Amino acid sequence: MSSRSDLTIIRVCFIFFLLGVLVELCDGGITSGYVRGVNDLPDDMPLDSDVFKVPPGPNAPQQVHITQGNHEGNGVIISWVTPSAPCSNTVRYWSENGKSKKEAEATINIYRFFNYTSGYIHHCLIDDLEFDMKYHYEIGSGKWSRRFWFFTPPKPGPDVPYTFGLIGDLGQTYDSNRTLSHYEMNPGKGQAVLFLGDLSYADRYPLHDNNRWDTWGRFVERSVAYQPWIWTAGNHEIDYVPDIGETEPFKPFTNRYHTPYKASGSISPLWYSIKRASAYIIVMSCYSSYGIYTPQYKWLQKEFQRVNRTETPWLIVLVHCPFYHSYVHHYMEGETMRVMYEPWFVKYKVDVVFAGHVHAYERSERVSNIAYNIVNGLCEPISDESAPVYITIGDGGNSEGLLTDMMQPQPSYSAFREPSFGHGLLDIKNRTHAFFSWNRNQDGSSVEADSVLLLNRFWRAQEKTLVVA
């Protein structure tokens, strides 16, 4: 009888031990209690919506967008589409106080996708602009020409303040429009957008209807014609459909949206880097080969080594698929890439990693999971001051809707999570401090629902070294 009692006591003690371990591993942060209204469904906007309106005039330029055009930041790529014929390929541009206009020539291309033929896509690279300057530009000809403007960033430097907007998985629904409107109205005033992949969601329409790339281009023009969007490719940009004869991955995306990849020594427009103000931004492609000795791997190996944190102290990585999140859908989808590259993130003290893909918001603690080998069994994320914060912001408003099923209990690496649509702002103050905020789409206004003060990993380590010395 006593042996049975002893066995029962041992079992009870073991259960309490397991519960204790579980609590320690899953002592997570905050799961927001905000509940979205029942009518907040991501319905597509109808094709006759104002946001899809074609500009007036025969063959007038449309879908105008800009992105950074070189590595340093004083270049811009201006792109637009004319629907029925090539128009003038000349861009006329001038600085705010300039006395004369300059001209640059665009290249023109078209592409075909199944039964769709694109309009005439123009891309114009303008290099060697002045830093920290407002420029006006004009495209088209005659009475139907169109004018826009943009600001170049300040010259790269360690204490240059700059504010980035963050949007991912946007699509073209009513919620997409709300997200973009809230970003535009945000008093934080983002100066450029870091876009985290999944643009138009044209692949969700029958036969990957590429007309939906056109409607999306007109929808976002009101922002991206005036400030650069830095592009990350997502899974909805792959457009690989061998059943209808489409076997060239990323064909619509790479024809429409150029990136300055050659300026950073990359061989692919899907992975590249730029400097902008006090930030060094590395864009990775999780839907291209990234294993050891692949072109992306070899490029990244050199890229991390050449970052000068005394010039651009904020090291930021953009990748579509998250390394850390705690939603059931897409859980651990980025695991192979994490295993490959997380040690580099820690070694080179990446400050923050932004991702999309998961249609919700989540912010992690500074954690790493790089100690494992086949002997030690150390396979849990642990607190690591050299690790980045991982922020998932794939909540732009796309038609697939929000993810609401979460891992329970909340894992210890998760600091805050909420399944709502919204956008983010990264406000870099100086070499040591930056402020990130996530803004929920709620009640017709942009509501700051989560925020965190970020301390630069490189300069924090330098200060600790000086204190010890």
Query: Would you name the residues annotated as active-site residues?
Result: 330
What residues form DSSP beta bridges with 312?
Answer: none
CA dihedral 60, 66, 70, 75 (to 10 degrees): 70
Contact criterion met (CB below 8 Å) for 71 and 89? no
User: Cα(291)–Cα(267) distance, rounded to whole angstroms?
Assistant: 16
User: Cα(393)–Cα(391) distance, rounded to whole angstroms?
Assistant: 6
Q: How many CA atoms lie within 13 A of 447 on its CB side?
A: 10
DSSP-derived 3-state class of residue 147: strand
What residues form DSSP beta bridges with 426?
Answer: 164, 436
- Type of residue numbered 430: N
Secondary structure element (H or E) that encloses residue 189, with its range: none
In the chain the first and final C-alpha atoms are separated, in Å, by 65
Secondary structure element (H or E) that encloses residue 445, with its range: strand 445-455
CA dihedral 95, 96, 99, 102 (to 10 degrees): 30
Output the six-digit token pair for 439: 């803004």
What Å distances lie between residue 434 and 63, 168, 260, 324, 363, CA to CA? 33, 21, 26, 21, 15
Residue with tokens 């580099």: 344
What Å distances lie between residue 286 and 230, 348, 449, CA to CA? 16, 20, 29
Contact criterion met (CB below 8 Å) for 436 and 427? yes
Per DSSP (E only), the strands in 291-429 are: 314-318, 352-355, 361-364, 367-368, 382-383, 389-393, 414-418, 422-428
Task: Quickly count helices (H) and strands (E) in the chain.
Answer: 7, 26
Those residues with Cβ within 8 angstroms of residue 35's Cβ, 6 or more apart along the chain or in another chain:
none
Nearest to 199 by CA among 171, 180, 174: 171
